[in-house]
């Protein structure tokens, strides 16, 4: 098969992956704390043909760490992250990190996510409040107060920029290297009574989806044209 066919096919594979990730982002545009999926593409240079031929790689997924906008809810158990940090939650598979700050307090005082995962403090211990103490006050550094009593602080964690992220439940991620507790709250903190939106622009993603779909159709048409041209050449040269 001619290298041109492989080049066209590689572009179709890459565009198909892009279409899948864009569709996933659009579907989660209203998911609290969701981090968009992006795809990075490289060019692979082949040495199998007489002339160097560049192919598009299938692409590698990555999770965007850009912040989303904040929505004011006035719910004392809604908490948003300010800056580049994450909440720690305990899942059955281990500790994960999320920007989804929709918390609740059980009758026993435990603070959990809406999916029932314990919310952790900076020492990775579950947070337990006084179930009769009323709505808490949560300060920028995550410190929790009910009445005159303090009950520790919501843990904020920083993830190494070089770490790769794997998706988990509750819009959470699991980094390839351990996260560290935030100690400087000048740039990072929390905002009580707010939630962070997904860092996805539905309009922008739909525009990308349309453009990627058109590119895929063009690549398919080019492949079909090349195939028809080669078949015609074979018939002509073969005298058929």
Pairwise CA distance, residues 169 & 159, whole Å? 18
Q: What is the mean pLDDT of the chain?
A: 83
200 versus 39: which is more confidently predicted?
200
**pLDDT of the residue at 170:** 85
Total count of domains within the chain: 2
Question: pLDDT value at position 8?
Answer: 55
Q: Please check whether residues 79 and 116 belong to one and the same domain.
A: yes
Looking at the fold, whether 150 and 121 belong to one and the same domain comes out as yes
Place of tokens 């300010």: 82
Average pLDDT for 148-153? 92
Q: Which residue has better confidence, 60 or 216?
A: 60
185 shares a domain with 78: yes
| Confidence bin at 18 (pLDDT 50/70/90) | confident
pTM for the complete prediction? 0.76
Convert the pLDDT of each residue in 213-238 to its tens digit. Answer: 676 666 666 556 655 655 655 566 65
Indicate whether 103 pLDDT > 50: yes
Same domain (yes/no): 27, 45: yes
Q: Are residues 166 and 125 in the same domain?
A: yes
Host domain of residue 219 = 3-65+200-238
Mean pLDDT of 133-143: 95
Residues 224, 127, single domain; the answer is: no
């Amino acid at each position: 098969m001619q290298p041109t066919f492989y080049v066209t096919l590689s572009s179709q594979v890459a565009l198909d992956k892009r279409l899948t990730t864009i569709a996933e982002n659009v579907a989660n545009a209203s998911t609290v704390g969701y981090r968009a999926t992006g795809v990075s593409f490289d060019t692979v240079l082949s040495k199998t043909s007489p002339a160097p031929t560049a192919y598009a790689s299938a692409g590698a997924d990555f999770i965007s760490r850009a912040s989303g906008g904040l929505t004011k809810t006035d719910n004392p158990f809604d908490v948003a992250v300010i800056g580049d940090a994450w909440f720690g939650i305990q899942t059955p598979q281990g500790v994960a990190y999320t920007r989804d700050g929709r918390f609740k307090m059980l009758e026993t005082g435990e603070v959990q996510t809406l999916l029932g995962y314990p919310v952790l403090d900076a020492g990775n211990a579950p947070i337990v409040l006084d179930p009769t103490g009323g709505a808490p006050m949560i300060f920028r550094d995550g410190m929790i107060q009910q009445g005159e009593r303090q009950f520790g602080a919501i843990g904020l964690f920083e993830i190494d920029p070089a770490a790769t992220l794997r998706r988990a439940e509750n819009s959470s991620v699991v980094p390839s290297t351990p996260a560290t507790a935030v100690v400087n709250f000048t740039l990072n903190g929390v905002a009580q009574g707010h939630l962070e939106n997904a860092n996805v622009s539905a309009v922008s993603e739909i525009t990308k989806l349309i453009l990627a779909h058109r590119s895929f159709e063009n690549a398919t048409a080019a492949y079909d044209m090349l195939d028809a041209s080669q078949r015609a050449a074979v018939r002509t040269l073969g005298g058929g």
